[in-house]
């Protein structure tokens, strides 16, 4: 008999023995409320808690599990959950930074390391990865996303799921992953967290759902509902999402969990009258477990006994929850309880964090090849509020990282240069939001005494993440003024931005000679940046999201639709070009702003290197294919510079005419390739015809006959093009 068959029999035996109250108990998740109180102890004994989250004390964790196993009637273990979003004790780059590596296998390794650390601390379940498509940098949770593109996000979603869950979920160092937030959360109006979402069904299916489908196909154990309403129905109450799409269409077999108090919040949405109504609608929609709010605990028993909710729905939910507990090995002793305090991060994890941080950094500007600097540089000015801050560089969801283990840029510079270079360190601002200019003169003096200035700025960790949306995306506080002051020195200026989102850094970038965008890189921030600043390696990160020049351009993303007057087809008319007292007319203009045009500050996929890459000899295996057939695409990529480096080769397509208009470009593949100076290599993409389709007006996925354009290059504005046709 297989282990799965045996587990199934044990689950059915447990279900038959459970009271309705015990079944409902499995559907309840509570956060740590300050230790094992008498009330918590009693609920555990009565089998009325299925999961807990945020229990950080190992002794408390062990006692909770002991009570559940030894003092409850049926001995059903508790799943212990934690937000292990981009690392546990070792903090890796925030997810948006990981996506900038364009290296899903690296992300998988980071998730594997995080799972090992979290499982040793007694956690079985992480509420990650977050795979919401984010096309509005005002939204704070863009930091937790993999960016704006479904192809890129899907690959990272699958990789992170496999990393967290390992080869077998019952392995002691595996944790159950949770695909969140289902669905459409990244499209909230105005980038305001928790806000309303309106998405046509086709856009939902073509852009926002593919990463979740990739996670399900990768075997994700759980799925979390979103806070937002979608087209008038809160996601936590949407049977269309949870039963039709997730269960019926995709065949998801794990369990679903609400986000924090999301069932109760359906009352404020105006979708439910009270907690009792919320419990009924959440279960009917397909929510198996409720996080923190008490709709299920307080009302589900009565809803079943009154006949308002079929008892079979409760059995379904509990069966799925128990199945995950069996898969995690919680019943058979293979998984130990929480250990003591987590030891220091393993050297291998720190080296992995350094690699991930290094690959995540995007070189946006490098005038006159200022970077890399020579280690023999005589003097450096190290300025900026984030040059020596071990906390802020960890980013959002950094609960289990330790500042004493973070290596800051200033610390890493001192270690690397070893006293041979004079370092003039002045913060200039005590923190990123500060507007006090009292240190400006000292910063300018430091710049004047130095050969090169390194400025480390950006935004603090608390300025991005959940509930931290921003209407203005410029550098906070007086950072722009400080950069302008430093620029007066006339010394070469390297700007290093550490942030949780794209910032509108155009003014600062103009004053700088080089710009490195480092996101929030995590524990090994300093060493990774030093590796790049001094040329141990070349930057290879690429933007996973479009950078707007100003907030007024938002939403701004590469895979937009064309208009009848495309902005790149006509001469640009700006405010200063309009004649005085001009007659009211369109002035022959197109779909763009009069004051800032239509161009982003930096396009999706963009990122420079210390070398240059050339693309040649684009070839396709056939000029005509049928839907479902494969198209082999090859291109020669050459390192035409003097530095060994990695390039991310990107493939985009466009369906030129369709029954529903299609985006001007769509990413369909990417590969990282490392090349020595003057080395070239043929890169081959095996493009399935199935990925050329979309959902038509009837919500059928179709690949329509017609002409397609294909581009390959180093960003979304690649110019090397081929054409092929899909035939019926």
pLDDT greater than 90 at residue 300? yes
338: helix, coil or strand? coil
pLDDT greater than 90 at residue 55? yes
DSSP string, 165-182: H-S-TTSTT--B-EEEEE
Q: Which CATH number does 613-727 carry?
A: 2.60.40.10
Q: How far apart are CA 291 and CA 278, in angstroms?
A: 13
Q: Predicted confidence band at 587 (pLDDT cuts at 50, 70, 90)? A: low
Q: Predicted confidence band at 33 (pLDDT cuts at 50, 70, 90)? A: confident
Please give the C-alpha separations between residue 415 and each of 32, 419, 447, in angstroms, as whole numbers: 41, 8, 21
Q: Within 10 A of 211 (CB to CB), how many other CB atoms are there?
A: 29
Residue 591 has what pLDDT?
79
Q: Predicted confidence band at 340 (pLDDT cuts at 50, 70, 90)? A: low
pLDDT greater than 90 at residue 456? yes
Q: How far apart are CA 651 and CA 687, in angstroms?
A: 10
CA nearest to 602, candidates 560, 559, 547: 547
Q: What region, left, alpha or beta, does residue 194 occupy, with left being phi > 0 and alpha being psi -120 to 50 degrees?
A: left
CA nearest to 170, candidates 331, 345, 60: 331
Using CB atoms within 10 Å of the CB of residue 481, give its burial: 0 to 12 exposed, 13 to 18 middle, 19+ buried: middle
pLDDT greater than 80 at residue 339? no
Residue 473 has what pLDDT?
98
pLDDT greater than 80 at residue 343? no
- Which residues does residue 725 pair with via DSSP β-bridges, in sequence order? 624, 707
Cis amide prior to 235 (ω within 30 degrees):
no
443 and 469 in contact (C-beta within 8 Å)? no
Using a pLDDT cut of 90, give the percent of the chain over it: 91
pLDDT tens digits, one per residue of 674-711: 999 999 999 999 999 889 999 999 999 999 999 999 99
Considering only 97-106, 328-337, 634-643, which range has the smallest mean pLDDT? 328-337
Helix axes of 38-45 and 58-70: crossing angle, nearest 10 degrees: 40
For residues 7-42, b (16+ Cβ closer than 10 Å) or e, as one string?
bbeebeebbeebeeebbbbbbbbbebeeebeeebee
Residues 189, 192, 196, 199: is their CA dihedral positive or negative?
positive
**What's the mean per-residue pLDDT of the chain?**
96
pLDDT greater than 80 at residue 338? no
Q: How far apart are CA 82 and CA 80, in angstroms?
A: 7
Provide Rg for the chain, Cα atoms: 27
662 and 707 in contact (C-beta within 8 Å)? no
Residue 602 has what pLDDT?
98
* 389 flagged as catalytic: no
pLDDT greater than 90 at residue 589? no
Q: Where are the alpha helices (DSSP H) in 205-333?
A: 210-217, 239, 262-268, 275-285, 295-305, 311-327
pLDDT greater than 80 at residue 3? no
CATH architecture of the region 347-533:
3-Layer(aba) Sandwich (3.40)
Q: How far apart are CA 295 and CA 304, in angstroms?
A: 13
455 and 486 in contact (C-beta within 8 Å)? yes
pLDDT greater than 90 at residue 518? yes
Kindly list the domain boundaries of the chain, sorted by start residue: 3-327, 347-533, 566-598, 613-727
Residue 193 has what pLDDT?
97
Going by their DSSP bridges, the two strands 28-31 and 290-291 should be labelled as parallel
Going by their DSSP bridges, the two strands 701-702 and 233-234 should be labelled as unpaired
Assign 3-class secondary structure to 616-654: EEEEECCCEEECCCEEEEEEEEEECCCCCEEEEEEEEEE
pLDDT greater than 80 at residue 215? yes
Work out the average pLDDT over 340-344.
Answer: 72
596 and 694 in contact (C-beta within 8 Å)? no
pLDDT greater than 80 at residue 334? no
For residues 113-135, b (16+ Cβ closer than 10 Å) or e, as one string?
bbbbbbbbbbbbbbbbbbbbbbb
DSSP string, 89-145: SSB---HHHHHTTT-HHHHHHHHHHHHHHHHHTT--EE---B------TTSGGGGGS
Helix axes of 295-305 and 311-327: crossing angle, nearest 10 degrees: 130
Q: Predicted confidence band at 590 (pLDDT cuts at 50, 70, 90)? A: confident
Considering only 30-34, 653-657, 672-676, which range has the smallest mean pLDDT? 30-34
pLDDT greater than 70 at residue 399? yes
Using CB atoms within 10 Å of the CB of residue 76, give its burial: 0 to 12 exposed, 13 to 18 middle, 19+ buried: buried
Q: How far apart are CA 276 and CA 297, in angstroms?
A: 10
Work out the average pLDDT over 447-458.
Answer: 98
Q: Check 83, 259, 388, 537 and give the catalytic one.
A: 259
78 and 64 in contact (C-beta within 8 Å)? yes
pLDDT tens digits, one per residue of 62-120: 999 999 999 999 999 999 999 999 999 999 999 999 999 999 999 999 999 999 999 99
pLDDT tens digits, one per residue of 223-264: 999 999 999 999 999 999 999 999 999 999 999 999 999 999
Q: How far apart are CA 101 and CA 105, in angstroms?
A: 10
Cβ-based neighbours of 728, under 8 Å, separated by 6 or more: 626, 705
Q: How far apart are CA 40 and CA 51, in angstroms?
A: 12
Using a pLDDT cut of 70, give the percent of the chain over it: 98
423: helix, coil or strand? strand
Q: What angle do CA 42, 48, 50 make, to 5 degrees?
A: 120
Residue 586 has what pLDDT?
74
Residue 588 has what pLDDT?
63
pLDDT tens digits, one per residue of 370-398: 999 999 999 999 999 999 999 999 999 99
DSSP string, 150-212: HHHHHHHHHHHHHHHH-S-TTSTT--B-EEEEETTGGG-GGG-TT--B---HHHIIIIISHHH
What does the chain come to in residues? 728
Helix axes of 311-327 and 3-17: crossing angle, nearest 10 degrees: 140
pLDDT greater than 90 at residue 25? yes
pLDDT tens digits, one per residue of 555-581: 999 999 999 888 887 676 678 888 888
CATH top class, domain 3-327: alpha beta
pLDDT greater than 70 at residue 1? no
539 and 407 in contact (C-beta within 8 Å)? no
Residue 427 has what pLDDT?
98
Q: What angle do CA 441, 443, 445 make, to 5 degrees?
A: 70
Using CB atoms within 10 Å of the CB of residue 569, give its burial: 0 to 12 exposed, 13 to 18 middle, 19+ buried: exposed
Q: How far apart are CA 67 and CA 76, in angstroms?
A: 10
Give the DSSP H or E segment for 360: helix 347-360
Work out the average pLDDT over 134-163.
Answer: 98
Work out the average pLDDT over 617-629.
Answer: 95
């Amino acid at each position: 008999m297989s282990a799965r068959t045996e587990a199934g029999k044990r689950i059915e035996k447990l279900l038959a023995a459970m009271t309705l109250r015990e079944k409902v108990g499995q559907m309840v998740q509570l956060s740590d409320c300050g230790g094992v109180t008498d009330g918590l102890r009693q609920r555990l004994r009565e089998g009325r808690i299925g999961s807990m989250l945020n229990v950080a004390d190992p002794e408390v964790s062990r006692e909770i599990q002991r009570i559940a196993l030894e003092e409850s009637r049926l001995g059903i273990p508790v799943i212990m959950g934690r937000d292990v979003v981009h690392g546990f004790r070792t903090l890796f780059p925030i997810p948006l930074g990981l996506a900038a590596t364009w290296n899903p296998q690296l992300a998988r390794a980071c998730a594997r390391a995080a799972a090992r650390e979290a499982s040793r601390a007694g956690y079985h379940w992480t509420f990650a990865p977050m795979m919401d498509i984010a096309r509005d940098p005002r939204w704070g949770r863009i930091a937790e996303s993999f960016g704006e593109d479904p192809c890129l996000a899907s690959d990272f979603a699958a990789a992170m799921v496999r990393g967290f869950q390992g080869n077998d979920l019952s392995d002691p160092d595996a944790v159950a992953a949770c695909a969140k937030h289902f669905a459409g959360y990244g499209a909230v109006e105005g980038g305001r967290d928790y806000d309303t979402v309106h998405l046509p069904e086709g856009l939902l299916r073509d852009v926002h759902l593919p990463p979740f489908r990739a996670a399900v196909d990768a075997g994700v154990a759980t799925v979390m509902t979103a806070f937002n309403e979608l087209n008038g129905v809160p996601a936590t109450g949407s049977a269309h999402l949870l039963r039709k799409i997730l269960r019926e269409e995709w065949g998801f077999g794990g369990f679903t969990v609400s986000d924090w108090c999301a069932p109760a919040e359906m009352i404020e949405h105006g979708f439910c009258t009270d907690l009792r109504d919320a419990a009924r609608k959440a279960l009917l929609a397909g929510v198996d477990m409720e996080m923190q709010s008490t709709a299920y605990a307080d009302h589900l028993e009565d809803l079943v006994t009154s006949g308002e909710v079929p008892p079979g729905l409760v059995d379904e939910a509990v069966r799925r929850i128990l199945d995950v507990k069996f898969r995690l090995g919680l019943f058979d002793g293979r998984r130990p309880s929480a250990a003591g305090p987590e030891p220091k991060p393993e050297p291998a994890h720190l080296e992995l964090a350094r690699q991930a941080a290094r690959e995540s950094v995007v070189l946006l500007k490098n005038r006159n090849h200022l970077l890399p600097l020579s280690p023999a540089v005589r003097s450096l000015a190290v300025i900026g509020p984030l040059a020596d801050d071990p906390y802020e560089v960890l980013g959002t969801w950094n609960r289990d990282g330790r500042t004493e283990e973070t290596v800051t840029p200033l610390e890493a510079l001192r270690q690397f240069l070893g006293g041979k270079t004079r370092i003039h360190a002045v913060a200039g601002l005590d923190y990123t939001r500060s507007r006090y200019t009292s240190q400006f003169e000292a910063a300018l003096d430091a710049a004047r005494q130095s050969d090169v200035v390194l400025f480390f700025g950006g935004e603090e960790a608390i300025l991005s993440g959940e509930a931290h949306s921003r209407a203005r995306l410029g550098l906070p506080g007086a950072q722009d003024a400080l950069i302008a002051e430093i620029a007066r020195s006339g010394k070469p200026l390297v700007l290093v931005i550490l942030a949780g989102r794209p910032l509108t850094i155009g003014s600062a970038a103009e004053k700088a000679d080089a710009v490195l965008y480092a996101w929030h890189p995590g524990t090994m921030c300093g060493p990774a940046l030093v590796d790049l600043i001094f040329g141990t390696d070349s930057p290879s990160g690429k933007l996973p999201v479009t950078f707007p020049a100003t907030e007024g351009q938002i939403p701004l993303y590469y895979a937009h639709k064309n208009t009848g007057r495309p902005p790149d087809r006509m001469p640009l008319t700006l405010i200063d070009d309009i004649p005085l007292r001009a007659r009211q007319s369109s002035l022959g203009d197109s779909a763009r702003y009069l004051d800032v045009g239509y161009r982003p500050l930096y396009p999706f996929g963009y990122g420079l290197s210390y070398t240059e890459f050339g693309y040649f000899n684009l070839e396709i295996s056939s000029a005509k294919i049928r839907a479902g057939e494969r198209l082999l695409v090859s291109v020669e990529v050459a390192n035409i510079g003097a530095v060994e480096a990695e390039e991310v080769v990107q493939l985009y397509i466009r369906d030129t005419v369709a029954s529903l208009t299609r985006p001007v470009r769509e990413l369909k593949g990417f590969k990282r390739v490392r090349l020595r100076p003057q080395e070239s290599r043929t890169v081959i993409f095996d493009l399935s015809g199935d990925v050329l389709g979309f959902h038509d007006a009837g919500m059928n996925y179709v690949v329509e006959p017609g002409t397609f354009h294909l581009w390959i290059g180093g960003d979304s504005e690649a110019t090397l093009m081929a054409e092929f046709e899909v035939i019926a």
